[in-house]
Structures are given as C-alpha cells and as structure tokens.
Structure 1
Amino acid sequence: MSPIVRMWRAVFPRRGSVARRSDRVQGGLLAVVVLLALAALPVAAGFGSETYVSQRDQSARQLGERTQVTATLLADGPGIKVNSRTGVVGNGEPTDATWLLPDGTRKVGKVVADEGTLKGYTFGIWVDRAGNPVDPPLSGAGVVIDAVVVALGLWLGAIALLAAAYGLTVFSLNRLRYARWQQEWFAVQDRKTHS
C-alpha cells in the first residue's frame, strides 16, 4: 500500500474498519495540520513580500545616498596573522587612505584594509554624500535573498511547530492506547487465573 493511500486511510478510516476513536482523532488532526501548513504558505509569502518591498526601498535610498570611489592606501595594511587553531586569516583593520570624491575633492581618512595589503594598493570603497566611508548599499540580489529567506524561514518554522504539536499529540494518544491495552490485558489475565 502506498504512503498516500495509508495517509488517506488514516485520515478517513473506511466504514466498518477497526479504527478506534483515538485513531479517528489522530487522522483528523493530521488533516488539520496539513491544511494549516498549506495555509501558512501564503502568510509566509506575504511577510517575504513585505520584507522585499521595505528592503527594496532601503536599497534604492542607499544607492542614491552612497557612491563608490577608489581608495589608495597611504600606509601598509595590517600584517598577516594566521589563527593557529583554524589556519584562517583574520579580518582587516582601519588604515590611512586617500580617495577622490565625484566633485574632485580629495579626502583622507581611515578605511578597512585587508591583511597583507601594501602602501599604494587601490580598491573600491563606498562613501556617503559627505565623503565618509560607509558600508556598501543593499544590493538587489541581497533584497531578493533576504525576502526568500524570511518567507521560507517563517514557513518552515510554522511547519516545525505544527509537526511538534502533532508529534506530541500522537505521543499522548499512544500513551492512552497503551494504557488501555494494558488494562485489557490485565483483565484477560485476571479472567484466566480465576477460571
């Protein structure tokens, strides 16, 4: 018997089956859990859509306020340090650099330089309207990825919560069934010993 047929029969036991009331409750609960999981999908998609819209606006605002320029290091970057435990190189550190703003003004300040970079090394940085270094703006791909992660995370969280509730209920029903079977077994054994 295929898993789909088994699930269908668990949810809707046939007439004349040996299904107990607790089996019917478990089958009904399974149907409710599946319907709630399906209903959670558009809700999660709605949250993902809201995240997309708000971050898209934030990305557009940041792209309008920030400009990418080329910075040139005025000093060597931090020395290369290797973590003895993992062998991974550490992060960069603030280093003196200069950059030219779009209006032709030259600025001098600190930028984060990777380990091992030397004086004169050039790389792109993002600056605000005042010419101060800032984080890169949120990209279009980042907006989409964030929206998908939010939607998928919420939906999977809802499914996990529903699965946990269903599993706990089935566990409780099984405990009740086992207790009833134990009582019936003792009653049968009692009759055998008294006969």
Structure 2
Amino acid sequence: MAPSANCLVRWWHLLVPGRNSVARPSDRVQAWLVLMVILAALVAIPFSAAAGSAVYAAQQHQSARELAENRPATATLLADGPPDSVTGRSGEVSGPRPTDATWLGSDGARHIGRVNADAGTHRGDLVPIWVDRSGAVVPAPLSAEAAVVNAVAAAVGLYFVTCLALGLIHGSSVFALNRHRARKWQQEWYAELGKKAHS
C-alpha cells in the first residue's frame, strides 16, 4: 500500500476509531481539527469567488460612472517635461512628472494647469489627458481590464487570508494539543516512578 494510502487509512481510524483503537482522545481531536480546516478551506472558495464578483460589479459601476462624467482631451505642454534620464542601479527611466500645460475644457474654455508629462517630452508636445465637466484634469477612468484584475486580486487575496487564518488556528491548536500530551505523559511518568519507588 502506498504511503499516502497508509496515511489516509490511519487518519480515518483516528476519525472513526474501532473498539481496539489505541488512539488518544487528543489524537481524535487533532484529526477532526484537520477535517474541519479542510472543509472550511473548501467552503471559502465560493465565498471568495462571490467577493470577487461583488468587487467586479462595483468596479464596473465605477468605470461606467467615470466614463459618463469625464472625457478625453489633449493638453499642449507649455514647458519641457522631465529630462530623459536613467535613475538608480536598476536602470529605470524616470517616470512622468507634473508639467505646465494648456487644454480646452468641455465648454471650449481654455485651461492652464499641470499635467503629467513623460520623460523626454518638450514644450509644444501633445499629451493625452482626461478632464471632468468643469475642465479640471482627472485620472483616467477605470478600465475593464483593471476591473477584472482587481476582482481576481480581491478573490485570491481573501482566500489566501482565509487559508492563512485557518493555518494559524490549526498550528496553534496542534501546539496546545502537543503541550497537553507532553504534560499528561510527564504526569504518567512521574506516577510510574512513584509506584516503583514504593514497591
């Protein structure tokens, strides 16, 4: 019989002991604890999926609202963007930085402010932006791809935290059971020594 099969048989005898079983009560408690942890981890799967679906629905609503309230526009830089330089040992190019620019709002009025310009851009370059109804620059709306990624991350993260909590509960319970077994074994050992001393 394979080792895994032997382990399953032993575990089953702990859960359902026979008349001649030598399993201690604490062994049965530990076996049932493992079973409860496995069942809880399985039950957590649909709950985590439901949480991810709820996040996706909320993000879809947010994306639709942002798309309805904001619109794309094009800003013209009034100054050069950040220099095209490499920073750090990793060799990463410096990211976008706020730069003076001008753009037209939804009502056709001209606005002046700061927009994020990539490294290496120059005065007069065009930069795509998003503006609200008042013409103020706002972040780009949440994309459908980002909504999917956020929903998956929420579901996986919730399941990971649940499994981590179950693992901590199992580990602390086994630690307590081991201490109980060691204390009981020590008491039995001292009792046996006392009997031998009086005999």
- Shorter-normalised TM-score: what interval? 0.7 to 0.9
Q: 2:57 aligns with which of 53, 56, 74?
A: 53
Once the two structures are superposed, residues 51-82 of structure 1 have per-residue CA deviations (whole angstroms, 9 ceiling, x without a partner) of 11111111011112222223232210133565
What is aligned with 1:24? 28
Runs in 1 of length 4+ with deviation above 6 angstroms?
Answer: none
1:153 Cα shift?
A: 1.4
SS at match of 1:64: helix
What is aligned with 1:75? 79
CA contact (8 A) 2:41 2:163 kept: yes
1:158 Cα shift?
A: 1.4
1:140 Cα shift?
A: 0.6
Q: Does 2:28 align with 1:44?
A: no
Please give the alpha-carbon distance, in whole angstroms, between the structure 1 residues aligned to 2:42 and 2:82: 53
What is aligned with 2:175? 171
1:21 Cα shift?
A: 0.6
SS at match of 2:115: strand
CA contact (8 A) 2:96 2:116 kept: yes
SS at match of 2:120: coil
Once the two structures are superposed, residues 71-120 of structure 1 have per-residue CA deviations (whole angstroms, 9 ceiling, x without a partner) of 23221013356555765454433212233557766544321112332223
Structure 1 residue runs without a partner (length 5+): none
Q: 2:147 aligns with which of 143, 151, 155?
A: 143
SS at match of 1:76: coil
1:129 Cα shift?
A: 2.4
Please give the alpha-carbon distance, in whole angstroms, between the structure 1 residues aligned to 2:124 and 2:16: 75
Q: Given residue 19 of structure 1, which amino acid in structure 2 is its aligned partner?
A: A
Q: Does 2:173 align with 1:159?
A: no
What is aligned with 2:120? 116
Please give the alpha-carbon distance, in whole angstroms, between the structure 2 residues aligned to 1:56 and 1:6: 50
Q: Which moved more, 1:164-173 or 1:117-126?
A: 117-126
Please give the alpha-carbon distance, in whole angstroms, between the structure 2 residues aligned to 1:143 and 1:4: 42
1:186 Cα shift?
A: 2.6
Please give the alpha-carbon distance, in whole angstroms, between the structure 2 residues aligned to 1:159 and 1:84: 38
CA contact (8 A) 1:11 1:26 kept: no
Between the two proteins, the alignment pairs up a number of residues equal to 195
When the two chains are superposed, the root-mean-square deviation of aligned CA atoms in Å is 2.6
1:130 Cα shift?
A: 2.7
Q: Does 2:102 align with 1:94?
A: no
CA contact (8 A) 2:105 2:134 kept: no
